[in-house]
A and B are shown apart, each in its own frame.
Chain A
Amino acid sequence: MESTRIICPNGHLGFAPLKPDSFHLGVAAKPDFIAADSGSDDVGPGPLGTDTSTSLRQWQEHDLEEMLLAARKLGVPMIIGSAGDTGSNSRVDLFVGMIKDLAKKHGLTRFKLGYFYSEVEPEYLRAKMRGGSPILGLDGRPPLTEEELDATSHIVAMAGVHPFMDLLDRGADVIIGGRSSDSAIFAAAALHRGHGMSESYYLGKVLECASFCAEPYGGKETVMGEVNGSGEVLVTAMSPAQRCTVASVAGHAMYERSNPYHEYVAGGMLDMTHCDYQQVSEKTTRVTGANFMPADEMRVKLEGAGKLGERFVGIAGIRDPYTVRHVDLVIEWARTQVRERFGEDGYELYYNVFGKNGVMGDLEPVKQTQSHELCVVVQAVAPTAEMAEEICMTGTRQMFYARLPDVKGTAGSVSFILDEVLRASPAYHWTLNHTVAVAHGLELFPRHMTQAGG
């Protein structure tokens, strides 16, 4: 069997621009596919909840333009998964529009543009739940309840290889995917060319974060992966400054994963327990021994974000050493003033005390602050902006009036850099980190084919 080579220039397209030099070196090596993932749940629940991107439009366009021009010049497919950070329908439409505009801008010859959606309607899940197919929780979460479903603003399903392969089979030159497993984007390309499941999924796993599988550390550089038809995966750094080593490639298997041996996707699990890593040349490491185990039941991962309320933020500083030591009393005073005005519940109020445990909260082992000054960030979340603003203002400004028994400074207990509170993005939380049983891998991912270029 012929080998298949894929280059990946960016582990999260749009979050920061790809580095052109190593990308152009990768293109010059004439790969069979150019592919990248554009999504992440690291950015928090806000973008999915509000159906927006956290990436800048000009950076998304920059990378799509580089990849599209290279792919059309080489005449090879370009594949993008998890469009626009969240992979919601509006983000797929955004990227499809960008591809069409770029094709027109550069006068590209007509090509087939395939895309699929990943959003899931709440009623679909409700019907599953009522029909006796529970929406099971991941990472220790209990099964989804209808109450949690009702409190969810947007839901996306995580596609496996299936919609990508379907669009490749139908001759798509460019694919814009909704929410997808990172590894599936690349695995689909290798499977489409007839390679085995184990090496195809491992290829996807190692390529998904681009140069994070190379060393020295440096993001947004292009990496090439190859499956050579005899079960081996070869991964090569394209940047002159980077190498793919046994340590860097093996190390990547554990990045952002709780377990380095198992990677779950729709339809199965890639077992990397018996992977063997060999340095075969200065910049290339060869991996063998991965084993893909198909699942008995097809379950698809779901992500959902639900709105908690409008949000305001206040900031206060403390320099008096007595007040630094008693910051908990200052906060309790302010909380009490909020409670007297707004009661015990119906809102949320948070204090992050930087200089004490602002970064780690309860995980902070240093229990007694060593700092001579503190910064307190106050967050208030409430059903309306007016209420959130008043709670935040009370919770921030009342620290100024905190009554401490032995304080020397009686003109104000905190400092302000602003005599106001700031409107922040609405507060969301992840309501779904679950899976749903489906009949097949295409069930939740409607596919479409259109054309772009002249």
Chain B
Amino acid sequence: MEGRNSTRKLIEIAKTIRSKNAGVDKITFDIIFRDRADYDLVRDSRALTRETVAALYGIDGDRISDFVEFDPAFAIKFTLYRVRPSGSPGDPDIFGAQQYAPLMDVEIPLSGKTIVQTIAARDTDPCR
């Protein structure tokens, strides 16, 4: 197991990956996980941080207004400033609803220890 599956794509782990306007000047991104184990796996991997998402979207870090790890909902959330307000002419996504796709392919590194923990958590979770 170790070595072969050293990473997994975020789309294989997350329950929900979405983007949406947060007011007229920002777009907010939510990555929501099914359970604590998946959430901890991704959060602890540090594959999603203010710096990595800024690099992914090719923007300066100061365009990210908020980066939040939201434990009650097993969610990682960040928000970026638009260059111009929503619905200005030329804005291709008035609702900001189709900006999340690049997140899907983010590779989440799995340490051997993490894999074992994750599988153990799954085996005892009746919801899975």
Interface membership of chain A positions 350-390, coded 1 if the CB is closer than 8 angstroms to chain B and 0 otherwise: 10100000111111110000000000000101000000000
Q: Is A7 an interface residue (CB 8 A)?
A: no
Supposing A44-B86, A140-B65, A250-B72 touch, asked if A258 and B99 sit within 8 A by C-beta, the answer is no
A433, chain B: closest CB distance, angstroms: 5
Q: Which 6 A-B pairs have the closest CB atoms?
A: A44-B87, A350-B90, A258-B79, A430-B85, A250-B73, A250-B72
Q: Which residues of A contact B (CB under 8 A)?
A: 41-46, 138-141, 246-247, 250-251, 253-261, 275, 277, 303, 308, 311, 348, 350, 352, 358-365, 379, 381, 427-430, 433
> Which of A140, A303, A379 touches B90 (beta carbons < 8 Å)?
A379
Give the CA-CA distance A428 to B26 in the complex, in Å: 18
CB contact between B65 and one of A139, A246, A247, A350 (< 8 Å): that residue: A139
Q: Which of B1-9, B16-24, B40-48, B108-116 contacts A (4 or more CB under 8 A)?
A: B16-24
Taking the nearest CB of chain A, how far is it from the CB of B15, in angstroms? 8
The smallest beta-carbon distance between B46 and chain A, in angstroms, is: 19
> Cβ of B83 and Cβ of A256 under 8 Å apart?
no
Closest CB-CB distance, A383 to chain B, in whole Å?
14
Q: B126: which A residues are within 8 A, CB to CB? A: none
Q: Is there an interface contact between B65 and A429, defined as CB atoms closer than 8 Å?
A: no
Chain B residue at minimal CB-CB distance from A45: B87
Q: A256-B28, A363-B99 are in contact. Are A430 and B89 (CB under 8 A)?
A: no
- The count of chain B contact residues (Cβ–Cβ below 8 Å) is 43
Question: For residue B91, which residues in chain A have a CB less than 8 angstroms away from its CB?
Answer: 44
A258: contacting residue among B22, B32, B85, B95, CB under 8 A: B22
Given A258-B65, A429-B87, A139 and B25 contact (CB-CB distance below 8 Å):
yes
In angstroms, Cα B95 to Cα A124, docked, is 31
Contacting A at CB under 8 A, from B68-116, are: 68, 70, 72-75, 77, 79, 81, 83-95, 98-99, 101-102
For B88, what are the chain A residues with a Cβ–Cβ distance below 8 Å? 45, 308, 427, 429-430
- Whether B72 pairs with A362 at a CB distance below 8 angstroms is no
Q: With A42-B95, A256-B22, A433-B23 known to touch, is A139 a contact of B84 (CB < 8 Å)?
A: no
Set of chain A residues within 8 Å of B26, measured between Cβ atoms: 139, 258
The docked-state distance in angstroms from the alpha carbon of A348 to that of B20 is 26
The answer to whether A253 and B73 touch across the interface, beta carbons within 8 angstroms, is yes
CB closest residue in chain A, given B102 = A365
Q: B20, B59, B89: which contacts A381 (Cβ < 8 A)?
A: B89
